[in-house]
Amino acid sequence: MIDYDPFFSNAAATMRESAIRQMGAVLAGAADIVSFAPGYPAEDTFPWQATAEIARELLTGTDGSVLQYGPTRGHRPLREIITGLMAERGVRTAVEDVLMTTGSQQGLDLVARVLLNPGDVVLLELPSYTGAITAFRNVGAELVGVRQDEDGLDLVELDRTAAALAAEGRRVKFLYLVPNFQNPTGLLVSLAKRRALLEWARRRQVLIVEDDPYRDLYFPDVAAEADTRPVAADDDERRVVYLSSFSKTLAPGFRVAWVAAAPAIIAKLEVAKQAEDLCTGPLDQRIVYEACRRGVLARQLPLLRAHYQHKRDVMVQALTRSLAGVITWPEPRGGFFLWGRLRAPLRSDVLQPIAQAHGVIYVPGHAFFVNGQGHEYLRLSFSAPAPDRIELGVSRLAAAIREASDRAGATSPAASRV
């Protein structure tokens, strides 16, 4: 057999599998696991009937371009509709500013390829989204995390970090942000902090990459649409590269998302996309376009907010009942995630195999930290499981934590003798 190692690129040698996707594989292989791991939207919320109707009308063969190669930039009527969605978010966008991508993951990957040289620095929140971390690392960028509190990034530490990097002659290309219901923390950054971050980026002359997939999924009991105003909305010099998606509001199976940015950046991203997959699925784009045009998306959103707010309630109540004081968390004001912090000395990576044996999985916190920290955290996705499964999963988690604590209690005297 051939030894392939000498054939692999340096990039391939350092690529790492996503911790979330690993958990997905566990899920696929197991019978009765409650999964709080991947941030999957709830399948029973997908607009099945509307999608079926749209597909039937699209697939008559009247318009052959539905199944043909499409333009790399995307289906133009969909890009036009997106300028309307952007306007609703407070962001002025022309159709030339929009590039369709094969999921936001492709947007992140294209941004990485077009903006980052090996050794360039990306600043990002501690913790941050693993998919972005992987895309940026794959092009050899160095990721530097900055502490955030419940209000968002610590501006003092952010500026100190940037100053230190500048003093070392390092090139910071952009700051990566997920201001709305961040994956993994669920945090909602305050509007004042958003404006301050934009001002900071202007002063330091770095770009901002704003990743905004959860914006529509605020929970009306504790947040309002006005709280989700993107950083891009106040960006009058086109410093922000803005990404969003239909994966969380229609369905991820369409793989339809977009990037909105200055035309000069969009043009580069388009050329990169051309070599990466020629075009995003034309049938998928048409279905999404029709779902927007016919009001399917608009009708979805209040239902989704209620759906996920209810699941948040179920998880919060179950955690409060079974694990008060053992796990603490900032209450999610939108999105899919509850970011739990384990009482010391519990560690989420040590707990993981025990939890799995009890039939519940989650993503250990350290997967979201670029600095090796985060072992006391765990990301619990409440989006996909039904309410009774959420309750079952939390009770299993509680049992797993009791077992882990018992084990620690049994071994710590021995450990103290060392």
| Residues 265-304 contacting a second copy, CB under 8 A | 265, 268, 271-272, 274-284
Q: Which is nearer to a second copy, 254 or 339 (CB)?
A: 254
What x-and-dash track marks residues 346-375 binding a second copy by CB under 8 A?
------------------------------
Instruction: Out of 29, 32, 44, 415, name the contact with a second copy by CB under 8 A.
Output: 44
Query: Is the bond into 413 cis (omega within 30 degrees of 0)?
Result: no
**Which of 76, 79, 128, 72 lies closest to 102 in space, CA to CA?**
72
Q: Which is nearer to a second copy, 66 or 370 (CB)?
A: 66
Q: Residue 3, CB half-sphere, CA atoms under 13 Å: how many?
A: 2
Calpha distance 361→27 (Å, rounded): 8
Query: Is the bond into 282 cis (omega within 30 degrees of 0)?
Result: no
Q: Which is nearer to a second copy, 171 or 407 (CB)?
A: 171
Say if strands 152-153 and 172-177 run parallel, antiparallel, or are unpaired.
Answer: unpaired
Calpha distance 36→23 (Å, rounded): 9
Calpha distance 311→305 (Å, rounded): 10
Which segment (111-119, 291-299, 354-362, 386-394) binds a second copy by CB under 8 A?
A: 111-119
How many residues sit close enough to a second copy to count as binding (CB under 8 A)?
86
* Residue 226 DSSP label: G
In the complex, least distance from residue 16 CB atom to a second copy, rounded to whole angstroms: 7
| 122: enclosing H helix or E strand | strand 121-126
Calpha distance 220→222 (Å, rounded): 5
Q: Which is nearer to a second copy, 99 or 251 (CB)?
A: 251
346 Rama sector, left if φ>0, alpha if ψ -120 to 50, beta otherwise: beta
Instruction: Out of 81, 85, 93, 105, name the contact with a second copy by CB under 8 A.
Output: 105
Instruction: Out of 26, 38, 307, 326, name the contact with a second copy by CB under 8 A.
Output: 38
Q: Which is nearer to a second copy, 37 or 126 (CB)?
A: 37
Calpha distance 275→67 (Å, rounded): 20
Which segment (108-116, 328-336, 342-350, 373-381) binds a second copy by CB under 8 A?
A: 108-116
What x-and-dash track marks residues 175-214 binding a second copy by CB under 8 A?
--------------------------------x-------
208 phi and psi angles, rounded to 5 deg: -120, 130
Instruction: Out of 29, 31, 32, 61, name the contact with a second copy by CB under 8 A.
Output: 61
Q: Check binding of 102 to a second copy (CB under 8 A).
A: yes
Contact assessment for residue 275 and residue 72, using Cβ atoms and an 8 Å cutoff: no
Q: Which is nearer to a second copy, 41 or 179 (CB)?
A: 41
Would you call 188 helix, strand, or coil by DSSP? strand
Q: Which is nearer to a second copy, 127 or 281 (CB)?
A: 281
Q: Check binding of 164 to a second copy (CB under 8 A).
A: no
Contact assessment for residue 391 and residue 361, using Cβ atoms and an 8 Å cutoff: no
In the complex, least distance from residue 406 CB atom to a second copy, rounded to whole angstroms: 36
Q: Check binding of 412 to a second copy (CB under 8 A).
A: no
Calpha distance 399→392 (Å, rounded): 11
In the complex, least distance from residue 336 CB atom to a second copy, rounded to whole angstroms: 12
Packing angle, helices 387-417 and 296-323, rounded to 10:
40
Q: Which is nearer to a second copy, 37 or 319 (CB)?
A: 37
Q: Check binding of 25 to a second copy (CB under 8 A).
A: yes
Q: Check binding of 416 to a second copy (CB under 8 A).
A: no
In the complex, least distance from residue 115 CB atom to a second copy, rounded to whole angstroms: 6
Q: Check binding of 131 to a second copy (CB under 8 A).
A: yes
Q: Which is nearer to a second copy, 12 or 306 (CB)?
A: 12
Look at the block and give the residue holding tokens 């040698």: 13
35 phi and psi angles, rounded to 5 deg: -105, 115
Instruction: Out of 82, 251, 260, 323, name the contact with a second copy by CB under 8 A.
Output: 251
| 192: enclosing H helix or E strand | helix 191-204
